[in-house]
Amino acid sequence: MTLQVGVVGVGNIGSTHASVYKENPKTELVAVCDIIKQKADAAAEKFGARAFYSVREMLESGIRLDAVSVCTKGEENGGEHFAPTMELLEAGIPVLGEKPISNRVEEGKQMVELARSKKIPYAVNLNHRFTPAALRAKEWVSSGRLGQLHMINMRMWINNPVETSPWFHLRALHPHSFDVIRYFCGDVKKVAAFMMKGEGRTIWSNTQVLLQFENGAIGNLVGSYDAGKSYGLELCEVVGSKGRFVLEDACEHLTFYPRNSIETETYNYLGGMRSFPETFKSRIGDWVNQLEAGAAYDQINGSGEDALKVQMIIEAAIQSWETGAIVEL
Ligand SMILES: NC(=O)c1ccc[n+]([C@@H]2O[C@H](COP(=O)([O-])OP(=O)(O)OC[C@H]3O[C@@H](n4cnc5c(N)ncnc54)[C@H](O)[C@@H]3O)[C@@H](O)[C@H]2O)c1
């Protein structure tokens, strides 16, 4: 059965979700909703869906919705997700939210708890790891090809001159980085962070965060909003007792380096995926496949709970920098 889906907040990213749903043969985009009437109307016209100007109106219309993307924005790119997400979950509708889950951890907790108590799938678009290359690397970790995990070096940086709040860089960008980190190394136990305001900037636009994981591995994040076009988006290196891998730019290049041999193994553009923008299709595709297969609320990949956990690492990093202490999660 085709899933009837809607998108709430049809700005830049909401339009991307809508395009992906339009192309997916398993979904029918039936509703677009934006509090700015012109945006909702334009999206309805473009995507052939019905326009709504509030979640309430959309819910009261009686239209069948099997899932909804919430692509609102707000303060630190996550301040507006809470109200529409709670309304949808309350109505029993599975939600794929945008990241960050919220810039306020308390709101994140409430959304995750509501979904859990009502047993409703709730996911967040932590799309960086939904790539064939990340999946291959994850298989290497799970099968023991790396041996015991020792360390992770994670780097994620872009150029973003926006200066809306001191913690904008941490809260808006690094849900992605910490999600990739958790995907490979598991839950984080301790966090210590240093931050730096780039030249001419008023916000903490550069960071180095040290991590210790529950499994004993250690690692770090290098993050920046002051990167250049030639810097690449991200690099993830995971080092174990038997070997290490380097994954460049989410999906483009993956190499395995065995510890006891010079023979390396490299994959370029696994699955034919060329660049980061394609991760929306693979991530949303995974969400749709899970819903179609009837996945239980607690089996969802890139779940609200995962998104909450990364936000808690971010808050621990902020606390560490403010206090000079190592913060335990
Ligand atoms: N996953 C990624 O790789 C990625 C990349 C960039 C941005 N994002 C995230 O996508 C989200 C959206 O960013 P954007 O640049 O598209 O924002 P945007 O401002 O272009 O769009 C947000 C839209 O939501 C609408 N809106 C706000 N509150 C609403 C409500 N209660 N009901 C209905 N509509 C409402 C606004 O009118 C606006 O049109 C942000 O959370 C951002 O962090 C994710």
Q: Identify whether the C-beta of residue 128 lies closer than 8 Å to the C-beta of residue 99.
A: no
Sequential pLDDT tens for the chain (329 residues): 899 999 999 999 999 999 999 999 999 999 999 999 999 999 999 999 999 999 999 999 999 999 999 999 999 999 999 999 999 999 999 999 999 999 999 999 999 999 999 999 999 999 999 999 999 999 999 999 999 999 999 999 999 999 999 999 999 999 999 999 999 999 999 999 999 999 999 999 999 999 999 999 999 999 999 999 899 999 999 999 999 999 999 899 999 999 999 999 999 999 999 999 999 999 999 999 999 999 999 999 999 999 999 999 999 999 999 999 999 99
Top mutation candidate among 7, 12, 13 for ligand 1, by most atoms within 8 Å of CB: 13
Question: Ligand 1 mean position to 53 CA, how many Å?
Answer: 15
Q: Which residues share a beta bridge with 32?
A: 7, 51
Q: Identify whether the C-beta of residue 224 lies closer than 8 Å to the C-beta of residue 196.
A: no
| Ligand 1 atom nearest residue 15's Cα | 16
Question: Ligand 1 mean position to 10 CA, how many Å?
Answer: 7
Residue 226's domain comprises: 128-273+311-328
pTM of the model: 0.97
Question: Ligand 1 mean position to 79 CA, how many Å?
Answer: 10
**CATH code at 315?**
3.30.360.10
| Ligand 1 atom nearest residue 276's Cα | 3
Question: Ligand 1 mean position to 17 CA, how many Å?
Answer: 11
| Ligand 1 atom nearest residue 279's Cα | 3
29-32: long-range contacts at Cβ-Cβ below 8 A with a sequence spacing of 24 or more?
29/5, 30/4, 30/5, 30/6, 30/63, 30/64, 30/65, 31/5, 31/6, 31/7, 31/58, 31/61, 31/63, 31/65, 31/68, 32/6, 32/7
Number of domains the chain is built from: 2
User: Are 183 and 294 found together in one domain?
Assistant: no
Pick from 70, 2, 62: which is nearest to 32 by CA? 70
User: Are 120 and 136 found together in one domain?
Assistant: no
User: Are 185 and 209 found together in one domain?
Assistant: yes
User: Are 141 and 246 found together in one domain?
Assistant: yes
